[in-house]
Amino acid sequence: MKETLSSQTLPSPVGGTNHAASAGTHPTRKLLHILWEIRYSGAEIMVHDAKDYFEAHHLESSVLARGQEVGAYAPTLERIGYPVHHLPAHRTVGSFVELYRFLRKHPFDVIHLHPEAMYLWHSLTIRLANPAARIVHTHHDVFFQYPPFLRQVRKFHRFLCRRVLGVKCVSIGESVQTVEKEYFNNDTAIVYNWIDENEFRPPTPEQVAGARREIGLPENAFVLLTVGTCNDKKRHNDIFEAVARVKDRIPNLIFLHRGSGPNQAHERAYVKELGIEKNVIFLDYIDYLPKIFWASDAFIFSSHWEGLGNVILQAIACKLPVILYAGWGMNDFQPADQAARYGYWVNPETERFDEAILEMHERKQSGRIADWKDKAYAFYRKKFSSQQSLAKMVAQYVE
């Protein structure tokens, strides 16, 4: 096992793994988050943002990375007080014997298992190491893409984990819950992703103007924003092509692109090939992420499927109307009541983004976009409030 990254050691349990410091106090439970490589990504950011809430509810948290690298976001978790351990996973018996020894040495009351990879073998090792531990597993994506044989294998693994090993299964939204049930006969509870509402919030007019000045956006620009990794799944070329087709009808159109990844060089080259360099701004890094939401008029996202996109949560929490493809994950943001609608859900098989972009621009020109901004934020508050989600997650840990 690699050395613990944090100099902070895990305290020994007193009177078993679930203990109270003194009579009459709430018991302090030791919680371990098992992640893969600790990157700046959804699960890791939620672990970061939930630390104070977990502590207030008597959960003392640590993190174990199972990826081959500990990950660039690990020091950020350490800085706020998480002990971070790194124990790379391999598809060998020895790798799980090593995990077993770690868990025997450091007993935890609750173990939250995040990775899909080797789910059964992680769950089995946890249960053997600590028969009394509560195991929670979150399904963070829609895994409909498994081929038929592997789907049956995963279905059997889920059955064993839930019915034999006693794992409590969580989905991050309706789409994930539906896929888990229909494809794997796996019953799950929904706990929506959460975001830091102190950071991602509706801006004041002064904050909007300041964010635009800092990024270098014209005051009168119509700004579409996307945030996401430059890879095949995100399909950013769909947006670039739409911008190329509508730019002459919206002369002040700016597409603000925050992200990096394996396709980044290709995306920059494609923007040049399309002749839309003046309409696209690539932001590889920004010191304060909410500013790019505050500077924008609408959020556009081109994945055909997601689990539940945190960046969409961030967008609507900042009162941005949306242009999304209809599909797994994105449909979770669509109000059942059309009167509460705050954006466009475009059929990726039959439609392109063009008309939605043009109509969103017209809404800004006419002032009608303000109504959709209000409805976006109202929908966020009603369905995705972080306090609601955190309370439901703590209930999974302790009830």
Distance, in Å, from the CA atom of 12 to the CA atom of 247, rounded to the nearest integer, reads: 62
Convert the pLDDT of each residue in 56-88 to its tens digit: 999 999 999 999 999 999 999 999 999 999 999
Residue 16 in this model has a pLDDT that exceeds 60: no
Residue 284 in this model has a pLDDT that exceeds 90: no
Instruction: State whether the Cα torsion 192-195-200-201 is positive or negative.
Output: positive
Instruction: State whether the Cα torsion 211-215-219-223 is positive or negative.
Output: negative
Residue type, 109: D
Q: Which of 91-105, 120-134, 274-288 has the lowest mean pLDDT?
A: 274-288
Which tokens hold the place of 193? 């992703």
**Residue found under tokens 């970061």:** 48
The DSSP code for 87 is -
79 within 8 A of 49, measured Cβ to Cβ = no
Residue 41 in this model has a pLDDT that exceeds 90: no
Angle (CA) 199 203 204, round 5°: 135
Instruction: State whether the Cα torsion 285-291-295-298 is positive or negative.
Output: positive
pTM (2 d.p.): 0.90
108 within 8 A of 130, measured Cβ to Cβ = yes
Instruction: Name the region of 382 (left: φ>0; alpha: ψ -120 to 50; beta: rest).
Output: alpha
Distance, in Å, from the CA atom of 237 to the CA atom of 258, rounded to the nearest integer, reads: 14
pLDDT at 25: 65
Each residue of 221-251: b (16+ CB within 10 Å) or e? Answer: bbbbbbbbbbeeebbbbbbbbbbbbbbeebe
pLDDT at 29: 97
Distance, in Å, from the CA atom of 56 to the CA atom of 260, rounded to the nearest integer, reads: 35
pLDDT at 43: 94
230 within 8 A of 259, measured Cβ to Cβ = yes
Each residue of 194-203: b (16+ CB within 10 Å) or e? Answer: bbbbeebbbb
How many other β-carbons are positioned within 10 Å of the β-carbon of residue 171?
A: 26
Residue 154 in this model has a pLDDT that exceeds 80: yes
Convert the pLDDT of each residue in 200-253 to its tens digit: 999 999 999 999 999 999 989 999 999 988 888 889 999 999 999 999 999 899
Interhelix angle 236-246/354-366, rounded to 10 degrees, is: 60
Residue type, 171: S
**Residue found under tokens 């579409």:** 224
Convert the pLDDT of each residue in 311-356 to its tens digit: 999 999 999 999 999 999 999 999 999 999 999 999 999 999 999 9
Question: How much is the CA Rg of the chain, to the nearest whole Å?
Answer: 22
Same fold, 25-190 and 205-384: yes
pLDDT at 399: 84
Question: What are the residue boundaries of the structural domains of the chain, listed by start?
Answer: 25-190, 205-384
DSSP output for 169-202: EEESSHHHHHHHHHHH----EE------TTTS-P
In this predicted model, which residue has the larger pLDDT, 132 or 11?
A: 132
Average pLDDT, the chain: 92
375 within 8 A of 342, measured Cβ to Cβ = yes
Which tokens hold the place of 288? 């304060």
Q: By percentage, how much of the chain surpasses pLDDT 90?
A: 87
Which tokens hold the place of 123? 């769950």
Instruction: State whether the Cα torsion 194-196-200-201 is positive or negative.
Output: positive
Q: What is the mean pLDDT of residues 165-183?
A: 97
pLDDT at 15: 31
Residue 6 in this model has a pLDDT that exceeds 70: no
Look up the CATH superfamily of 205-384.
Glycogen Phosphorylase B; (3.40.50.2000)
The 3-state secondary structure of 89-106 reads: CCCCHHHHHHHHHHHHHC
Q: What is the mean pLDDT of residues 28-40?
A: 96
Distance, in Å, from the CA atom of 345 to the CA atom of 325, rounded to the nearest integer, reads: 5
Distance, in Å, from the CA atom of 376 to the CA atom of 312, rounded to the nearest integer, reads: 10
Q: What is the CATH number of domain 25-190?
A: 3.40.50.2000
Residue 10 in this model has a pLDDT that exceeds 80: no
